[in-house]
Amino acid sequence: MSNTYVNAKVDLTTTNITTLYTCAALTTGIVKSIIVSEDSNNADTITLTITDASSAVFSLYKTKAVSANGTVELLTAPLVVQAGEILKVTAATANRLHVVASILEIT
């Protein structure tokens, strides 16, 4: 088994559903942190979902508030992401939010 620390980053420049992280085949991802930063001096909201290997979508956060120029940690405990699962984020407004996830990949 190999352990590798990685991060996944997105600048939400649209209001489209955006992939933050896809767990590779034969890998388990332990998401330690998901930080959301608002950089336009306007409060906004973010939605976070996980899509499983059979394409079922599960809501982790639905319209989580992020204050103007604020930073929010979305996780209070590690989140396990299995092979083929996808973390996706959606901003309510374009060009306001940045998202960074810290992940331990076990292969």
pLDDT value, residue 50:
98
Across the chain, the runs of DSSP E, i.e. the strands, are 3-12, 18-22, 28-38, 44-51, 57-66, 71-73, 79-81, 86-91, 97-106
pLDDT value, residue 1:
79
pLDDT value, residue 68:
97
pLDDT (tens place) for every residue of the chain, 107 residues total: 799 999 999 999 999 999 999 999 999 999 999 999 999 999 999 999 999 999 999 999 999 999 999 999 999 999 999 999 999 999 999 999 999 999 999 99
